């Protein structure tokens, strides 16, 4: 269940991402699922390793270490950035800015589970999640990571409602695709950033006013003229 909590992160490209931190119930459930998976793997392996005397004991210790510490790191660095338990609950691990978790951050957040466990039964980690709006445990605070609901992000949306106008010059197919992609992201980017990117296609933008009826129309911002061309390319003519 999602709590009514959201964080806004901005990528270096100027795109705003709405992140929904996972609360304690979802994270505890995900951890329980992962614990069951690891326990089943360990028990099955022990059933085989008990047939080997001294060597089997050493292999069991190595397997326990891998399941306890390497297991979460490997899955967090794979596509999806989530262990099977988190994936089952629709969660994933990201950096604070919404970007994929880095190897160093994954190592730090998982090694500090030892601190979250103190004084017992993950007491410190649970207290930290209860006291913070972003539900971070100690490992997440130090590593600069967070566990969020893995909602699908749609970078391309509907084109803004602007009067369609033909481009000043003939556009090649890659240019048409680039303009349509930028227009589809316009709602997620600041108007100033749209204007900045639109100036790259200034030679193709129409030099007309989108609001007819003025004898001496004021200049139209590049971003709005690019959106007009995008509407024309999309068939609104």
* Chain segment 143-157, per-residue pLDDT in tens: 999 999 986 555 556
What's the pLDDT score for residue 16?
65
* Chain segment 206-215, per-residue pLDDT in tens: 665 545 554 4
Reading the block at residue 55, the tokens are: 């060597």
Q: What is the pTM of this model?
A: 0.63
What's the pLDDT score for residue 34?
97
Whether residue 21 contacts residue 135, with contact meaning beta carbons closer than 8 Å, is answered with yes
Nearest 5°: phi and psi at 82?
Answer: -155, 140
Length of the chain: 237
CA 104, 91, 137, 6 torsion-angle sign:
positive
The rounded distance, in Å, linking the Cα atoms of 228 and 213 is 18
> Residue 85 contacts by C-beta under 8 Å, 6 or more apart in sequence?
29, 30, 31, 32, 33, 34, 35, 37
Q: pLDDT below 70 — which residues of the chain?
A: 1-4, 10-16, 151-158, 204, 206-220, 236-237
């Amino acid at each position: 269940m999602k709590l009514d909590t959201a964080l806004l992160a901005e990528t270096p490209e100027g795109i705003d991402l709405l992140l929904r931190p996972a609360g304690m119930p979802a994270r505890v459930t995900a951890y329980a699922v992962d614990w069951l998976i690891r326990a089943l793997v360990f028990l099955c392996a022990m059933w085989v390793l008990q047939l080997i005397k001294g060597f089997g004991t050493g292999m069991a210790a190595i397997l326990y270490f891998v399941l306890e510490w390497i297991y979460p790191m490997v899955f967090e660095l794979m596509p999806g950035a989530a262990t099977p338990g988190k994936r089952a609950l629709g969660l994933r691990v990201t950096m604070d800015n919404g970007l994929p978790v880095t190897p160093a951050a994954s190592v730090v957040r998982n090694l500090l589970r030892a601190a979250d466990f103190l004084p017992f039964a993950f007491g410190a980690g649970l207290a930290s999640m209860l006291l913070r709006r972003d539900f971070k445990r100690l490992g997440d605070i130090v590593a600069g990571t967070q566990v969020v609901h893995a909602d699908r992000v749609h970078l391309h949306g509907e084109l803004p409602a602007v009067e369609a106008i033909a481009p000043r010059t003939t556009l090649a197919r890659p240019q048409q695709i680039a303009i349509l992609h930028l227009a589809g992201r316009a709602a997620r980017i600041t108007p100033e950033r749209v204007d900045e990117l639109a100036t790259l296609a200034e030679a193709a933008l129409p030099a007309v006013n989108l609001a007819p009826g003025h004898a001496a129309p004021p200049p139209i911002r590049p971003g709005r003229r690019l959106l007009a061309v995008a509407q024309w390319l999309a068939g609104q003519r």
